[in-house]
């Protein structure tokens, strides 16, 4: 994942449980941040000051202050967390948990967590603010759920026909 200005690249390293910060001017590793067991997917805060890291080994999302490389707040999101995305206004962080078959919405204004059941096996997450929708793929079925991010109600299913819907990309207009 790149910083908003493209000057840094953040790489999660499941083993040894770190995030590498790479300077894109010379591609050197400038910092290793210890974040816990088995970090995988990440989301960058809207203002670029924090990196939210899915810590699969402990069922957490941890917030990393990028200025001082300190791990701050952590959020319990269940077993086998996977996909993560942040709302375009920076208020909400969405995280899927394959093991618990849930979706968590973390309100970053008060650190509260709202959890809903989403079965089977929610996988990757994509928030699209322009249309006010949250998209979540299933690891077990060939579909994508479309949710209202405010109510967390499923408003539609997209049948992709076959295979497993993996990661989704949102392109700017």
Chain centroid, CA 167 distance in Å: 11
Of the CA atoms within 13 Å of residue 71, those in its CB half-sphere come to 17
Inter-residue contact 83 to 136 (CB < 8 Å): yes
State the Cα angle at 105 between 83 and 127, rounded to 5°: 55
Provide the token pair at 145: 């759920």
What digits encode the pLDDT tens for the residues 61-98? 999 999 999 999 999 999 999 999 999 999 999 999 99
Look up tokens 């995280």; give the residue: 95
Please tell me what DSSP assigns to residue 37.
S
Distance CA 35, CA 92 (A): 21
What digits encode the pLDDT tens for the residues 102-117? 999 999 999 999 999 9
Inter-residue contact 25 to 5 (CB < 8 Å): no
Rounded to 5 degrees, what are φ and ψ at 102? -135, 165
CA atoms 172, 2, 92, 17: torsion sign: positive
Q: What is the mean pLDDT of residues 121-126?
A: 95
Peptide bond into 39 cis (omega under 30): no
Q: What is the mean pLDDT of residues 18-29?
A: 97
pTM for the whole structure:
0.94
Distance CA 146, CA 148 (A): 7
Superfamily in which the 8-121 domain is placed by CATH: YVTN repeat-like/Quinoprotein amine dehydrogenase (2.130.10.10)
């Amino acid at each position: 994942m790149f910083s908003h200005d493209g000057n840094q690249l953040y790489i999660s390293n499941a083993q040894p449980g770190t995030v590498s910060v790479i300077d894109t001017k010379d591609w050197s590793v400038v910092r290793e941040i210890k974040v816990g067991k088995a970090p995988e997917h990440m989301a960058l805060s809207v203002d670029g000051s924090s990196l939210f890291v899915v810590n699969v080994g402990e069922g957490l999302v941890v917030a990393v202050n990028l200025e001082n490389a300190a791990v701050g707040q952590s959020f319990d999101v269940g077993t086998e967390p996977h996909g993560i995305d942040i709302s375009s206004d920076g208020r909400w962080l969405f995280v899927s948990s394959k093991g618990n078959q849930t979706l968590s919405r973390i309100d970053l204004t008060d650190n509260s967590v709202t959890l809903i059941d989403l079965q089977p096996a929610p996988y990757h997450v994509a928030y699209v603010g322009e249309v006010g929708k949250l998209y979540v793929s299933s690891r077990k079925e060939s579909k994508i759920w479309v949710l209202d991010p405010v109510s967390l109600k499923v408003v539609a299913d997209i049948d992709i026909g076959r295979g497993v819907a993996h990661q989704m990309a949102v392109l700017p207009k």
